[in-house]
Structures are given as structure tokens and as C-alpha cells.
Structure 1
Amino acid sequence: MKLSRPLVLLAVGAVVALALLAGIAYIFKLPPFREKGEIKAGEVCSSLGSSSNAVDALTKVLPEESSYSFDENIDLRTDVTDTNFESSCFVAGGGKQLLVAKARLMEDESATSWTQWVKGTASNEVSIQSLTPFTAGDTAVSSSRFAAVFVPCTSAGKAPGGQYNLSVSTELKQEGNTNDAAARDELIKLAKNAASYAHVKAKCDMAPNLGGTS
């Protein structure tokens, strides 16, 4: 069956338009031609723990960007009587903040009280929706955008005020391509690895009860 001239021109025009769009996408590295940046072990924040484990988890959970950058701040605990320890890791890419991981030494408190407090440290309400517990530390909660663990650190009598714990959290600011269950698993891995690092650097004397890190 012969196509009329207008239909032929329309079909040719559609093909040309698609080719132009594909060319533009390729030139400007838009999907599906965007080059995925490599997360290098030497650039990852030390406060995320084992660099190989951190790279693996970050690669799975972060959205695809052409490059990634890491910014870190650590306030080390000087001795066992010091009650200050904090660390933070900020991961950015594509002009956006992608993930934040934080650790802080604080006085021990009930699971309910800590959970309410740690919710307030999240920057996005989406992060703390559907929080469910997981097994780690004294208590731990997570969602597909947030994971936090309260880890025993300094026993009563070693520092002023009684027992101190480490509150460690990871928050995914920009959703990646991973499904919710997988994203939750990777954030838990990052939180547990960051907690393991913080436990050593904060000169803790109590078992962290992390059940192993991956």
C-alpha cells in the first residue's frame, strides 16, 4: 500500500526529530548516554569505615552522576574522659547533595527517646517515613532513605554523667535506581560500617553489638 506524500514526510520528520534528540542527549550526556562516574576508594570519607565496603554500598544506593565528591569533618575524642566525638560525611554529585552520614557521642537514653531524637536529625520528612527496626547496637531503625543505630561506647564511671553511646546515621538525600528494599539494606551497611569506625576512633570500651559489618 502506497503512503501519501504528507504521510511520508511526517514519518521522515519523526525519524529526523528522534535522531536530533538522540544527538543532543549524547552531546550533553543526558540519559541514556550519561557517563556514570566512578566512586574511588581513595576519595571516600574515612568515617564511612572500610573503603571497599563503602564503595560497594555507595555504588548501589546513589543515583547515577558523572562524578562524585566527598567532604568530611571529624572531631576526635582526646581521651576516655572526653565526652565529645563527632564526624560527618557529605556526598555530592550533579550539583546536589546525595547522602549524609553522621556520628555523635551522646549520653545513653531509652530506645524511644533516642529514636524520636534521631528522627529530628533527618533533613527530609520522606527519610523517616516507614521506619522499621533492625538488629544492631542498643537499638536501630531504618527506611529506604534513612538508617540509624545507637551503639554502646563508654561505660558508666569512665566519662562524666554515666554511659555514653554513639548515634550514627546515614540519610539518602536523592533517590537512586535501587528498589526500596535494596536501598534500605545498603544504608544499613553504611550505618554499621560508619558505627564500627566511630567506635574505634571514639575510644569506646563497650562492645558495639553490630552483629558484623559487611
Structure 2
Amino acid sequence: MKFTHPKILIVGAAVTLAVVAGFVYAYKIWPFREKGEIEAGEVCSSLGPPSRVVNALTKVLPEESSYSFDENASLRVDVTDTNYESSCFISGGGKQLLAVEARLMADEPKESWTQWVKGTAANEASTRSLTPFTAGDKAVASSRFAAIFVPCTSAGKAPGGQYNLSVSTELKKGGNSSDAAVRDELIKLTRAASSYSHIKAKCDMVPNIYE
């Protein structure tokens, strides 16, 4: 019977571990993946003051080596104009992680707006557990989605009566924070984006975005 020397087994195991560790590090597999930082200067302007949103984004987004921001906007000319849209898409690891969108639209009852804004979510599961919170005319949120219906232009100024801003935030891939914590941060992000949009959309009504 042939026996293998213990020292040979130990050396062999050590070499194998070193090779595996090198492979893991080279391909940035956990736990060696480098965590990227969200730079204030790269954050979409439509999210509001970077100092207010960077901390919230850090808490809700998954850890990635880098993040990219894609922003688009169609600005309102004056209070008689009924067109205003803005969007900010945050990506990392080759996937879209979070989307924040704002749109000017005619005022409508809470129930119909809630159904409409649920339909704007890319993932139906994001809006399954929506519960109300206090902001604007109407506001709802879950651990993956938050939206506020913000009063913007009073009746008589724009054609068709009062117009509101519908501002929503959808988390498409989350990090390690609890559902309750994520919901709170999504609400903060949506409040900040609503405040920014209310100014950029030339709104004349009081937004009542904050409690």
C-alpha cells in the first residue's frame, strides 16, 4: 500500500487555494470585488441636490465596481405648456439598477393615478405592496417603488384644468438593506426628485412634498 506524505498534501492544498484565490481576485468575484463610489458630480441633476441623494443611493443600490448615470429631459416652455418629462437611469455591472422618472399630466383621482403609475413600473412585482405616505396630492411606496403626485399648475393656466407632476422611483436591483430601510430611502429620493421637477417644470402650486 502506498501512503502520501502529509507535507505533500498540505503543500498541494495550499497551491490549490492560491490558484483559486488568484482566479477569484482576477475576475473580481466576491469577496474581492472592488466597491465603486457614487460621485456627486456624476449624479443626474434631476435627482436634486447630490448631497441629499448620494447617501440614499449608496444605501439602496447593490455593490458594483462602478456606476453610470443616463439623464434625459424635455423641459416646459411656460405655464401654458403641458409637456414636461425627465428621467434618470442608473446602471452598474452591466444592468440597469434604478430608474427615476417625472411627467407632467392632468390631475386625476387617487385611485386612477395609482393604477396608472403602477403600470409604469418595469417589474410588476415592484408595485405589489404599495402603501400610502404623506406627500403631494397622493403618494405610495413599497420596498422597490415610490411615487408622488405633485400639484403643479392650477386650473385656468394650462388648458384642461389642473396639472400635476407624477414622479416615480423604481429599484430594479437592490443591495443588502432591509425592505423598510429601502422604502424610506426610495421615498427620500422621490421627494428630492419631485422638488427639483417642481422648479424646472415652472409649477405655480405649493408642492407639499415634505411632511
Which residue number corresponds to residue 204 of structure 1?
203
User: Does the C-alpha gap of structure 1 residues 42 and 18 become closer, same or farther in structure 2, counting only changes over 3 Å?
Assistant: same
**Given the alignment of the two structures, is residue 151 of structure 1 paired with residue 155 of structure 2, yes or no?**
no
Which residue number corresponds to residue 32 of structure 1?
31
Which residue number corresponds to residue 60 of structure 2?
61
Which residue number corresponds to residue 76 of structure 1?
75
Tell me the CA shift for residue 6 of structure 1. Answer: 7.8
Flag structure 1 segments of 5+ consecutive residues without an equivalent.
none
Tell me the CA shift for residue 16 of structure 1. Answer: 3.8
Which residue number corresponds to residue 85 of structure 1?
84
Tell me the CA shift for residue 38 of structure 1. Answer: 1.3
What is the one-letter code of the residue matched to 2:126?
S
Matches of 2:6 and 2:149, distance apart in 1: 67
**Given the alignment of the two structures, is residue 182 of structure 1 paired with residue 181 of structure 2, yes or no?**
yes
1:38-187 equivalences in 2 (<5 Å): 38-187=37-186
3-state secondary structure, aligned to 1:158: coil
User: Does the C-alpha gap of structure 1 residues 33 and 109 become closer, same or farther in structure 2, counting only changes over 3 Å?
Assistant: same
In the comparison of the two structures, how many residue pairs are matched? 209
Matches of 1:9 and 1:126, distance apart in 2: 54
Q: TM-score, structure 1 length as denominator?
A: 0.92
CA RMSD in angstroms, aligned pairs only: 1.6
Tell me the CA shift for residue 29 of structure 1. Answer: 1.6
3-state secondary structure, aligned to 1:37: coil
Matches of 1:13 and 1:133, distance apart in 2: 60
Flag structure 2 segments of 5+ consecutive residues without an equivalent.
none
Tell me the CA shift for residue 5 of structure 1. Answer: 4.0
Tell me the CA shift for residue 14 of structure 1. Answer: 4.5
3-state secondary structure, aligned to 2:64: coil
